[in-house]
Amino acid sequence: MTTREDAPGSTGGADVPGPLHGGPDDDYTPEQLAAMSREDLDLLGARYDGVQVLHTEPGPEPGSRLEKAAVRQVALTFALAGLAAFAAFVVYAGSGWFLPDWQWEITESGWSALFTPLIGALGGLSLVLVGVGMVLYTKKLLPHETAVQDKHDGSHFDRVTTGATLVGGLHNSGLARRKLITRTLVFMGSGVGLMLVMPLGGLIRNPNTGDPLGTTSWAEGVRLVRDDGSPIRPGDQVPGSLETVFPAVPGGNRQSDAATMLIRLRPEQVRVDRPRENQEDFGYGDYVAYSKICTHAGCPVSLYEQETSRILCPCHQSQFDVTRGAQPVFGPATRPLPQLPITVDDEGYFVARSDYIEAVGPTYWNRERI
């Protein structure tokens, strides 16, 4: 016999007071549940889950002035969050990861010096605005309900009624008719999503392309120049002297890995000079050139003792013998200073014959380039 509670399309007795009979899946077939409206399923699930509504406060009246003002406020917050996210991406794109043809010029001052703070500030502002927008939307546009609910057992009945409850929540949110908020949500989501994935730019563009950590600006025919850009001829230095030189390229004297020591040996040093294997022709006459970057921790080495033929690192007291291919003879350094092969050009100025054949800097790069 079919009762009013069991009839398809009914609420199963959930709309009348009194206890419910049996278990949910025993009382209602999938067909009966499918025939119920979303509101009926929501109410039915609440009854079976033992939900007790303590307080209900509806949202603003649809189309009212209060609702329109709240919609504009929330939409503006989401739009600003999207703008901040897109701005963070534009700043990051200037690093060359996503837009290699557009890259900031790195300077000690100006906008490029604010690269990292700008990304952090704009990204943080975007996420804060997302949170503010969600709070405003919840407080000003959603109905407020306080309820107590028992745990459910995950049955088919629970899945169907819970789905109805979730759909009911979306319906009550009013997003379907509040188009301005929907559009700004899409805009904000696009910007925030792009901002969150932009750190993956390092995977899109291989930072090791061209072996930037193993090469410098020195190359065949590049002149050796002083800090003021003036070139150097043999004879400009007295025997036993050292001069720091840089490659004659834009920004050469600002490149930390290109600084090189040009040393003119004294006659007695030339007589005992023992270059490293396969580097016998790297010098020119009584001139040799070695990297200024210590192979221990990257400190600049420029303290030169003529009497002992040693170059000293002031940071950790490593010492290198220039008459033995700048081999380390004291201190923590275990690798010699890389030697720059040099010669002179047609005008008689010192030029490099190639880049360093080994990576400059700390012993982390203890390898020879192929």
Give yes or no for residue 318 having a pLDDT over 50: yes
Among 308, 360, 305, CA closest to 335: 360
Residue 98 near residue 90, CB atoms below 8 Å: no
Tell me, what's the pLDDT at 226? 92
Tell me, what's the pLDDT at 22? 42
Write the single-letter amino acid at 163: G
Give yes or no for residue 126 having a pLDDT over 50: yes
Tell me, what's the pLDDT at 150? 62
Confidence of residue 25 (pLDDT cuts 50, 70, 90): low
In a 10 Å sphere around its CB, with 0-12 CB exposed, 13-18 middle and 19+ buried, how is residue 109 labelled?
A: exposed
Average pLDDT of the segment spanning 142-166: 69
The string of pLDDT tens digits covering residues 90-118 is: 887 765 554 444 455 656 666 667 777 88
Among 180, 190, 84, CA closest to 127: 84
Tell me, what's the pLDDT at 205? 62
DSSP assignment letter at 281? T
DSSP assignment letter at 264? E
The string of pLDDT tens digits covering residues 246-299 is: 999 888 878 878 899 999 999 998 888 888 888 888 999 999 999 999 988 888
Tell me, what's the pLDDT at 9? 40
Average pLDDT of the segment spanning 84-95: 81
Portions of the chain given CATH number 2.102.10.10? 224-365
Task: Please state which CATH number belongs to domain 224-365.
Answer: 2.102.10.10
